[in-house]
A = this chain, B = another copy of it.
Amino acid sequence: MIKVGIIGATGYAGAEIVRLLQGHPNAEVVWYGSRSYIDKKYSDIYGNFFKVVDDKCLDDNMDELADAADVIFTATPQGLCASLVNEAVLSKVKIIDLSADFRLKDVSVYEKWYGIEHKAPQYLEEAVYGLCEINRDKIKSARIVANPGCYTTCSILTAYPLIKEGLIDPDTLIIDALSGVSGAGRGAKVANLYCEVNESAKPYGVATHRHTPEIEEQLSYAAGKDILLNFTPHLVPMNRGILSTEYATLIRKNGSLPSSDDIRKAYEKYFGKEKFIRLLPDGVYPETRWVEGSNFVDIGFKVDERTGRVIMMGTIDNLVKGAAGQAVQNMNILFGLDEAEGLTILPSFP
């Protein structure tokens, strides 16, 4: 039984890790870390776990935790994980960090976009970007897994095969994304009150959202060159779900556009055998409801011969594949388990 510690167990992502691990045959939570609720019963905060989880919340004591656990999930604001990690800790326990601390290789990019000093840049090189379907092999032996962001997971996977295969011009890539409100976390802010969010849609972080450099870095690896792109997130009134609609100019070969079949083959080549990625049939586009509660990524596309562009669309549940689910998937890879353990929950509708 893998012993799991969670720092930030009372945020939405932390609670989703708890939910998933309750159904995991080979892992159990031994530490429900939550600075805000120390000594309170976990199920007093998340009533869904009443009579399911009897534990109380504990302080974020990294040293004790490293002794108690085999793996630690840090589901905390940026900066915290980097401030806690060191050789003593890493010698005892694996770290799966759900914050952005170890996602970007270039510390100056991190410090510019996040506006905080990085407390452990010495681990940036070593940390592995935990996008399971792309980096599976490297993850196996990592000490620190940087669990990808929610928007980034969806945005990267949706475009990756077409960039990798040179079917689209990466400099034309535009990503327009929608997110449910749970992505904003459980902090008490006026902007996230029910009445402020309900019955409205809005863009935010236009040309400045922090997931931009993360998407750019990963897709640059795929393109084999540095790329810049536009990424615009929007908040829409629903609890869960991310939808990325992405546009890029198709690269003509011998004067003709790639066909839908060419596009499909590229997706099949990279994702055809992936358990959690579902390539939708022609004419079917992803909807967030069909992945809600599950670790699935649904991807569809449309070639527009009129404009010479392809429209790529992907959906995930931001709390599952966009956070807790991918974190558990990374844990499974780290510990040599079947990648789907604890992740067999189907999407629930309606």
19 additional A-B pairs beyond A194-B237, A230-B307, beta carbons within 8 Å, are A12-B195, A23-B345, A46-B349, A47-B349, A50-B298, A176-B232, A176-B245, A178-B201, A181-B193, A186-B193, A193-B194, A194-B239, A195-B350, A199-B239, A202-B286, A206-B313, A207-B302, A230-B247, A232-B311
Task: Tell me whether A206 and B292 are in contact in the complex, defined as CB-CB below 8 angstroms, given that A48-B349, A239-B350, A346-B48 are known contacts.
Answer: no
Interface residue? A289 (CB, 8 A): yes
A306-350 Cβ-contact flags toward B at 8 Å (1 or 0): 110101010000000000000000000000000000001111111
> Shortest CB–CB separation between residue A340 and chain B, in angstroms?
12
Q: CA separation between A245 and B51, bound complex, in Å? A: 22
How many copies of this kind of chain does the complex include?
4
Contact of A278 among B23, B50, B349 (CB under 8 A): B50
Interface residue? A78 (CB, 8 A): no
Task: Tell me whether A199 and B241 are in contact in the complex, defined as CB-CB below 8 angstroms, given that A12-B350, A51-B278, A344-B23 are known contacts.
Answer: yes
> Shortest CB–CB separation between residue A327 and chain B, in angstroms?
17
Q: CA separation between A320 and B22, bound complex, in Å? A: 19
In this complex, what residue of B is CB-closest to A293? B348
Task: Tell me whether A236 and B236 are in contact in the complex, defined as CB-CB below 8 angstroms, given that A12-B195, A228-B307 are known contacts.
Answer: yes
In this complex, what residue of B is CB-closest to A277? B51
A284-306 Cβ-contact flags toward B at 8 Å (1 or 0): 11111111111000100011101
Interface residue? A62 (CB, 8 A): no
> Shortest CB–CB separation between residue A162 and chain B, in angstroms?
16
Interface residue? A240 (CB, 8 A): yes
Q: CA separation between A50 and B299, bound complex, in Å? A: 12
The interface residues of chain B lying within 8 Å CB-to-CB of A247 are 174, 176, 230, 247
In this complex, what residue of B is CB-closest to A52? B346
> Shortest CB–CB separation between residue A153 and chain B, in angstroms?
16
Q: CA separation between A110 and B178, bound complex, in Å? A: 31
Interface residue? A197 (CB, 8 A): yes
Contact of A206 among B201, B207, B306, B311 (CB under 8 A): B311
Of the candidates A178, A198, A290, A349, the one having the most CB atoms from chain B within 10 angstroms of its own CB is A349
Task: Tell me whether A198 and B350 are in contact in the complex, defined as CB-CB below 8 angstroms, given that A174-B174, A178-B178 are known contacts.
Answer: yes
Q: CA separation between A344 and B52, bound complex, in Å? A: 11
> Shortest CB–CB separation between residue A222 and chain B, in angstroms?
18
Inter-chain contact A350/B196, CB cutoff 8 Å: yes
Interface residue? A109 (CB, 8 A): no
Interface residue? A189 (CB, 8 A): yes
Taking CB atoms and an 8 Å cut-off, the chain A residues in 155-204 that contact chain B are 174, 176, 178, 180-182, 186-190, 192-204
A100-125 Cβ-contact flags toward B at 8 Å (1 or 0): 00000000000000000000000000
Interface residue? A138 (CB, 8 A): no
Interface residue? A229 (CB, 8 A): yes
Of the candidates A46, A178, A194, A232, the one having the most CB atoms from chain B within 10 angstroms of its own CB is A194
Contact of A203 among B200, B245, B289 (CB under 8 A): B245
Q: CA separation between A342 and B84, bound complex, in Å? A: 41
In this complex, what residue of B is CB-closest to A278? B51
Inter-chain contact A201/B12, CB cutoff 8 Å: no
